[in-house]
């Protein structure tokens, strides 16, 4: 699975949009981009995933650049409960099975 | 719909002992995978089971083993415990190999 690069930390004001970037310049054509988050001492929570089209669900939006070398997770109206470590993962679904390779992630702190 | 259930939540063991952790996946999910999380190494994949067969294995010594039962419940076992095995052990389940994975809250193992 391709390696990802994320900033170690970010801050966001409550109510504002949080935009979390991820670089995956070596991504292959059949690798999906996944985002998970982990609130302290809890299990990671699945947020969203996509292949090449932008995706949106009730939690967030995922914007993938046309060349697929980077993506951005957008939390449209961040709340204090969104404070967590956010992980960007790329993986080949068919061969990776459930193996998720977690990096260091981005510690997002939402401030009041 | 019940989530992924891991038992026990907390466990203290002595070096040299063995331990068995349990994971009950979401009803209908056939894939169960295990992860170890430590402050130094982060989240690392241990192994994955699908329909009672180990399908994928991470880079851990043979002291770490697991199995899956016909009802998809899974157990992992660690023999001859070492201090470095102290960690949060997380289980994740999914219906198949695609899509997001649902994690449990984990078992916090402390080896003294």
DSSP 8-state symbol, B82:
-
Phi-psi category of residue B7: left, alpha or beta, with phi > 0 → left and psi -120 to 50 → alpha:
beta
Is A100's CB within 8 Å of B56's CB? Answer: no
* pLDDT tens-digit profile, chain A (112 residues): 668 999 999 999 999 999 999 999 988 888 889 999 999 879 999 999 999 989 999 999 999 999 999 999 999 999 999 999 999 998 876 665 667 888 889 999 999 9
Confirm or reject contact between B95 and chain A (CB < 8 A). Answer: no
Looking at chain B, the number of H-run helices and the number of E-run strands are 0, 11
pLDDT tens digits along B87-112: 999 999 988 766 688 999 999 999 99
**CA atoms of B104 and A43, how far apart (whole Å):** 6
Q: How many CB pairs under 8 A join A and B?
A: 64
The per-residue pLDDT for range B55-78, each reduced to its tens digit, is 889 999 999 999 999 999 999 999
A43 and B CB contact within 8 Å: yes
- CB contact at 8 A, B3 and B68: no
- CA dist B26 and A74 (Å) reads 28
Cα–Cα distance for residue pair A30/A51, rounded to 1 Å: 8
Which residues 47-86 of B are in CB contact (within 8 Å) with A?
Answer: 48, 50, 55-56, 58
């Amino acid at each position: 699975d391709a390696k990802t690069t994320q900033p170690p930390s970010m801050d966001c004001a409550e109510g504002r949009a949080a935009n979390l970037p991820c670089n995956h310049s070596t991504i292959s054509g059949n690798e999906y981009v996944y985002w998970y988050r982990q609130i302290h001492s809890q299990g990671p929570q699945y947020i969203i995933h996509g292949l090449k089209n932008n995706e949106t669900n009730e939690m967030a939006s995922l914007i993938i650049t046309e060349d697929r070398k980077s993506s951005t997770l957008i939390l449209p109206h961040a709340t204090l409960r969104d404070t967590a470590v956010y992980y960007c993962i790329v993986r080949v679904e068919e061969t990776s099975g459930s193996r998720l390779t977690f990096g260091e992630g981005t510690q997002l702190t939402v401030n009041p | 719909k019940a989530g992924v259930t891991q038992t026990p939540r907390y466990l203290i063991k002595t070096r040299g002992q063995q331990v068995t952790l349990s994971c009950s996946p979401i009803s209908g999910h056939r894939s169960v995978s295990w992860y170890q999380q430590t402050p130094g190494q982060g989240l690392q994949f241990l192994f994955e089971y699908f329909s009672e067969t180990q399908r994928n294995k991470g880079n851990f010594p043979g002291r770490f083993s697991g199995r899956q039962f016909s009802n998809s419940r899974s157990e992992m076992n660690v023999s001859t415990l070492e201090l470095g095995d102290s960690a949060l052990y997380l289980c994740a389940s999914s219906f198949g190999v695609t899509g997001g994975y649902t994690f449990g809250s984990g078992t916090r193992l402390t080896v003294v």
